[in-house]
Amino acid sequence: MTAARLKELLAAAVKLELATIPPYLCALYSIRPGSNQQATLVLRSVVVEEMLHMVLAANVLNAIGGRPQVAGREHAPHYPHELPDGVILDLLPFSPAAIESFLQVENPQYLPTLTAPDSAALQVRRPELHTSHAVAVSERPTTIGAFYQEITETLKAVAADIGEPALFCGDPARQIGAEFYYAGGGSPTRVTDLESACRALDEVVDQGEGDILSPYDADGDLAHYFRFQQLKYNRSYLAADEIGTPTGPAMGVDFKTVYPMLANPRTAEYDDPDLKAASVRANHSWSQLLQQLDAAFDGRPDALLPAVHTMFRLRDAMLVLLANPLPDHHGRHAGPTFEWQPFTTAKAGTNHDLSP
């Protein structure tokens, strides 16, 4: 185990967390206004926490002298996007297929392996498959939880080998703290040593996959996996429920009150000039957001302030796309493509919120 290997794993973890966000955003904003209110709350909370997970992984990487990078064609995620365990992230509307995919993503490593949904049966278009950076650095097929376990084990091994002072050599100014990021669902941990690094990584796993003995994390919130189970079964969890069998009040899930977005769309498919322009605007906002995140990870945490406004511009462009049917695609609507398109960032400020 070496520090170089550890940096490689953590760099992949930052990109892995980022890659989950666009599919969750597609599901969130494809819901028609006024419907699926509980599902909207679930999806929005998960997006916020995935952003936090990305920041936590970046803090650990910066603490050991690494450099998180998410902007640029070679770093930004492309869809469909294959994860280390073979699960494929697609850009889909809120639907049973999307929920099954999200359960695959958040599947606790200690539960029996789930069968990935059949893309042909679900009519999911996958014109080109892109692999996650985590696939290249993983030693074996692994769930996200197991991937983080490997990172934690490597972290402890390297700290024991070279000592904590030598390992945690990063500039403290590159840490993102709560004063720069606030969006609910936890807050960033400033990483300075092995204890704080492990605490940051534990929060990522606890909020995502949760614990086999309880669907709730240390803060008493449902882990992501179990939040998505509520949407699958259209039932909320009660405190006394067994895992996998929520019996509480109905969640009001209605997959019919959704814009039927085309799966994994491409800007080049939009013949209408206005739709193409809206897609370009969305991609510019997405690319600008990634540049702002890179700046924040690179010692300018105040770059997160304009990122808030960029998120709103991205949302607005997504909503324009999702509300428009595509004449040549049998009733399907346009949707965001999350393609990398360079955009010059504006001067950064100081951030307090990254909520979508």
Q: Can you give the pLDDT at residue 167? A: 97
**What pTM does this model have?**
0.90
Burial 114-130 (b: 16+ CB within 10 A, else e): eeebebeebebbeeeee
Domain boundaries, the chain: 3-260
pLDDT tens digits, one per residue of 44-58:
999 999 999 999 999
Q: Can you give the pLDDT at residue 139? A: 72
Q: Which of 151-160, 219-228, 285-294, 313-322 has the lowest mean pLDDT?
A: 219-228
Q: How far apart are CA 288 and CA 286, in angstroms?
A: 5
Picking from 205, 194, 97, the residue whose alpha carbon sits closest to that of residue 155 is 194
88-89 and 130-131 beta bridge pairing: unpaired
Q: What is the mean pLDDT of residues 214-243?
A: 87
Is the domain covering 3-260 a CATH 1.20.1260.10 domain? Answer: yes
- Through-space distance between the first and last CA atoms of the chain, rounded to whole angstroms: 38
Q: How confident is the prediction for the chain on average, in pLDDT? A: 87
Q: Can you give the pLDDT at residue 345? A: 43
pLDDT tens digits, one per residue of 98-156:
999 999 888 865 444 444 444 444 457 787 888 888 888 877 667 788 888 899 999 99
